[in-house]
Amino acid sequence: AQSVTQLDSHVSVSEGTPVLLRCNYSSSYSPSLFWYVQHPNKGLQLLLKYTSAATLVKGINGFEAEFKKSETSFHLTKPSAHMSDAAEYFCVVSVTLNYGGSQGNLIFGKGTKLSVKP
Amino acid sequence: ETGVTQTPRHLVMGMTNKKSLKCEQHLGHNAMYWYKQSAKKPLELMFVYNFKEQTENNSVPSRFSPECPNSSHLFLHLHTLQPEDSALYLCASSLTRGSVAFFGQGTRLTVV
């Protein structure tokens, strides 16, 4: 079975300081992993995705995430937070079968709300 | 702009009303989804359509009725809803099931 755990429900940082949002996953097969961001009263926007290519994935708005198989982690980072980064972030896992197809649905974490203080 | 459009953006309805939510994508995607997002709860997958066929219904009450007339359109028909059904309803589409999903802006539903 696949699952994803976001270790922090709320993270607060000061503007200009680094951001770390933690995510651990469980998957019996090679996972695809995604981070989505949701600003208040908006839909979800894809930040970045990992699909078995480079383990360090760069996304939009200066975010990146590193896939660590040994730690079953896919933490999201940004070197310097901006006020506009305040939003909710979702880590998502999907199953990819060995032959390259995919099955099942996207499994969402419970979300981490990021606050950025001036 | 993700290419997935939901209408209306906001909807207030009484418990005896019948209304429909609409979702449209012209991305050439074959899978479409309805999600419910309630305050302080995880995102809940409601329905999945793959090549216009419903492949998943996550124990959703029958007062929610999905319809997928073609691969570009997805509806959620609502009738005799309860106040606890008030939530943000999100539509998404993906090329195949489990691949990157693109979300609409959502419909904020309030049941009074």
Any chain B CB within 8 A of the CB of A100?
no
Average pLDDT value over all residues in chain A: 89
Which pLDDT score, from 0 to 100, does residue A42 have? 83
- Average pLDDT (A49-59) is 88
Separation between Cα atoms, residue A10 and residue A19, nearest integer Å: 12
Residue type, B38: S
Cross-chain CB nearest to B97 (options A36, A43, A105)? A105
Which pLDDT score, from 0 to 100, does residue A96 have? 52
Longest CA span, chain A: 48
Interface of B with A (CB under 8 A): 2, 4, 6, 33, 42-43, 45, 48, 56, 88, 90, 92, 94, 96-106, 108
Over the stretch B23-69, which tens digit does the pLDDT of each residue have? 999 899 999 999 999 987 888 899 999 888 888 888 899 999 999 99
- Average pLDDT (A61-65) is 96
Work out the minimum CA distance from B44 to partner chain A, whole angstroms.
Answer: 9
Average pLDDT value over all residues in chain B: 92
**What sign does the CA torsion over B39, B81, B2, A107 have?**
positive
Q: Is B37 left (phi over 0), alpha (psi -120 to 50) or beta?
A: beta
Work out the minimum CA distance from B70 to partner chain A, whole angstroms.
Answer: 20
In contact, B92 and B6? CB cutoff 8 Å:
no
Work out the minimum CA distance from A9 to partner chain B, whole angstroms.
Answer: 10
pLDDT at A12 over 50: yes
Measured in residues, chain A has a length of 118
Band of pLDDT at residue A94, cut at 50, 70 and 90: confident
Other beta carbons within 10 angstroms of residue A41's beta carbon come to 11
Separation between Cα atoms, residue B64 and residue B69, nearest integer Å: 16
pLDDT at A58 over 60: yes
Percent of chain B predicted with pLDDT > 90:
74
Of B4-13, B26-35, B90-99, where does mean pLDDT reach its minimum?
A: B90-99
Separation between Cα atoms, residue B53 and residue B51, nearest integer Å: 6
Cβ within 8 Å, pair A41-B108:
yes
Distances B81 to A47, A48, B111 between C-alpha atoms, Å: 34, 36, 7
pLDDT at A98 over 50: no
Contacts of A48 (CB under 8 A, 6+ apart): A34, A35, A57, A58, A59, A60, A63, A64, A65, A76
Closest C-alpha to B35, from B24, B26, B44: B44
Cβ-based contacts of B97 with chain A (< 8 Å): 102-105
Cβ-based contacts of A46 with chain B (< 8 Å): 100-102
